[in-house]
Structure 1
Amino acid sequence: MGGESVLSTIFNKASLYAGVVLTVVMGTAMRGDWLLVLVHFWKSREDPLTKHAEEITANSTWLEYFRLQNVGWYILASISFSIVSYYGLAGWLQWHYYIRRRDSAAEWKCQPTKFLTPENERHEILMGSFNLFLGSLVGGSLAAYIMNGGRTQMYYHLDDHSYWYLVFSTVLLFLMQDAYAFYAHKSSHYPLIYKHIHKHHHRYHSPTAFSATAMHPAEFLWLQTGLILPIFFLPVYSGSFIMCILYAYYYGMIDHSGIKMDAVWPWQPPSQFHDDHHKYFHVNFGFNLRIWDWMHDTLRKEDRVYSEEIFGGRGLQKKQVQ
């Protein structure tokens, strides 16, 4: 019995750490940005004194004009890796919890008595797959643009700026990305936008990791844009950018996993925070920080009533619905 207990503990620990790695990989793959990791390592090895971009001339093709030479290969590589990662790794996470441990859902699931219907499971995979393709187009194109000398404000060598600036710009980037995600998300809960766009994502009342990118394509693109946009006006170290998007993607997957997990970082809400957003709809709009919801008084309160028909983020007093 003792040996079996030790083996079981080792297996569970290994599964947990593997899940973290797989979730990060799947998160970057699902949005097509894994190529940016390779771009970071490639560009950081370039000699800043000898590198130069090819000049644009009247004879340049439109791909050369927009710094997109060989973009097809970048997109193909992005799509290929994304497909393998999405179905293989997401399937592994689904098996480990939703199949292997389904009978013990009370131990690990945020909503232990609720599971998606087979129809919604198929829908989230199909919708997520389509957005996977869109993410690969964006990620592959951005990688091609940067590799061909396209201008961004990213720098690739740590000695280009001071270490004080490195810390400052990294924190600022994190705040900018999270603030954008909050306000973009909150705006999608205005009645008109919600009913025509964001409602697609909220059909998953008890979300799984597949739900993270299962949304209206327009919403997927405007959220993707918010993560990428800062590199065009904020001088930031490429490693910091990679770290911030990996962080956002990892917790994006965790928050939609339906699995009860407490965060290591004091500022990061537990997975229950966003799961409650899916359960109660118009509340808890934030992702990696609670401060935005605190500022707008949209944190869920246990003494208030929430539903899909009660907009505004503050719910109603119980006596108002009796």
Structure 2
Amino acid sequence: MGGESVLNTIFNKASLYAGVVLTVVVGMAIRGDWLLVLVPFWKSREDPLTKHTEEITANSTWLEYFRLQNVGWYILASISFSMVSYYGLAGWLQWHYYIRRRDSVAEWKCQPTKFLTPENERHEIFMGSFNLLLGSIVGGSLAAYIMNGGRTQMYYHLDDYSYGYLVFSTVLLFLMQDAYAFYSHICFHYPLIYKHIHKHHHRYHSPTAFSATAFHPVEFLLLQAGLTLPIFFLPVYSGSFIMCVLYEYYYGMIDHSGVKMDAVWPWQPPSQFHDDHHKYLHVNFGLNLRIWDWMHDTLRKEDRVCSEEIIGGRGLQKKQVQ
């Protein structure tokens, strides 16, 4: 019995870590810019004497002018890997919880009494796939731009800056990305923008992993831009960029999985936090940190009523709606 208990413990832990790895891979794929994670490794091994330094001339093609040589191959690679990962791995998560453990939803589901309708399930997969295609085109193009000598502020060798700056810039990058996500999210909840753009995402009141990219295309592209724009004006180590992007992707999948998962880090809210945003709508706007909601008093309060019609992030006192 003791040996069997040990084996069960090992299996459970292995399943947990495998789930994390799968979620990270799916996260990279569904955002469409997984190639950006490989770029720093290629660039760090690049020979300074043979790297792309050619000048743009009048005889250059438009692809050369914009540093997009071989962009088609980058986009094709991005689309291929992204589609296989999205349907294969996200589908596995769906099967593992929503099919295999359908009879025990109270144990793992954030909203155990609510499921998406078949129509919304089809819609989230369609929109997620469409945005995946857009993201792959943008991500593949950006990877081609960097690999062909396009300018960014990323550096690829630790000794280019001090270790103190390494820590500072990494924390700053993470805060910038998360602040961008929060404040853009707030903007998307203004009535007119919400009605025409962000409401597309909130039709999934009980989200699944497939809805992680099921946004209005305009919103999806703006969110993707928010993760990558800092590398054009903030000198940041490529490893720091990779770490922040992978964390954002991983937690973005956890946010929308609909599966109850406790916080791993002190600053990280549990998955229930963002699931409550889908349930109550105009509260809990933050993604990786609670601090922005705390600063703006938009944390969900159990003594208040929230709904799609009650905007502002604070809800109404129960006696006001009785």
**TM-score interval (norm. to shorter):** over 0.9
Q: TM-score, normalised by structure 1?
A: 0.97
Out of 1-10 and 21-30, give the one that drifted further: 1-10
Structure 1 residue 4, shift from structure 2 partner: 5.9
Cα distance in 1 between the residues matched to 2:300 and 2:23: 27
Structure 1 residue 9, shift from structure 2 partner: 4.0
Structure 1 residue aligned with 2:310: 310
Contact 2:51 2:149 in 1 (8 A): no
Cα distance in 1 between the residues matched to 2:202 and 2:238: 34
CA deviation profile, 1:98-120 (whole Å, cap 9, x unmatched): 11111111111111111111111
Structure 1 residue 150, shift from structure 2 partner: 0.1
Cα distance in 2 between the residues matched to 1:135 and 1:72: 14
Structure 1 residue 15, shift from structure 2 partner: 2.1
Structure 1 residue 5, shift from structure 2 partner: 5.2
Tell me, what secondary structure is at the counterpart of 2:200?
helix
Structure 2 residue aligned with 1:222: 222
Cα distance in 2 between the residues matched to 1:51 and 1:75: 21
Structure 1 residue 8, shift from structure 2 partner: 4.4
Cα distance in 2 between the residues matched to 1:22 and 1:4: 26
Cα distance in 2 between the residues matched to 1:6 and 1:103: 26
Cα distance in 2 between the residues matched to 1:107 and 1:48: 55
Cα distance in 1 between the residues matched to 2:50 and 2:128: 42
Q: TM-score, normalised by structure 2?
A: 0.97
Structure 1 residue 7, shift from structure 2 partner: 4.7
Asked whether 1:181 is paired with 2:184, we answer no
Sequence identity, in percent? 91
Cα distance in 1 between the residues matched to 2:134 and 2:52: 30
Asked whether 1:247 is paired with 2:255, we answer no
Cα distance in 1 between the residues matched to 2:200 and 2:51: 46
Asked whether 1:55 is paired with 2:51, we answer no
Tell me, what secondary structure is at the counterpart of 2:59?
coil
Contact 2:68 2:144 in 1 (8 A): yes
CA deviation profile, 1:43-75 (whole Å, cap 9, x unmatched): 111244664422100000111000000100000
Contact 2:52 2:148 in 1 (8 A): no
Structure 1 residue 245, shift from structure 2 partner: 0.8
Cα distance in 1 between the residues matched to 2:235 and 2:35: 20
Contact 2:30 2:132 in 1 (8 A): yes
CA deviation profile, 1:263-284 (whole Å, cap 9, x unmatched): 2110011000000000000000
Cα distance in 1 between the residues matched to 2:2 and 2:94: 29
Which runs of 5 or more structure 1 residues have no equivalent in the other structure? none
Number of residue equivalences: 322
Which runs of 5 or more structure 2 residues have no equivalent in the other structure? none
Structure 1 residue 13, shift from structure 2 partner: 2.6
Cα distance in 2 between the residues matched to 1:137 and 1:79: 7
Cα distance in 2 between the residues matched to 1:82 and 1:42: 20
With over 3 angstroms needed to count, the CA separation of the structure-2 counterparts of 1:224 and 1:13, relative to structure 1, is same
CA deviation profile, 1:9-29 (whole Å, cap 9, x unmatched): 443332221110010000011
CA deviation profile, 1:115-158 (whole Å, cap 9, x unmatched): 11111111111100000001101110000000000000000111
Structure 2 residue aligned with 1:116: 116
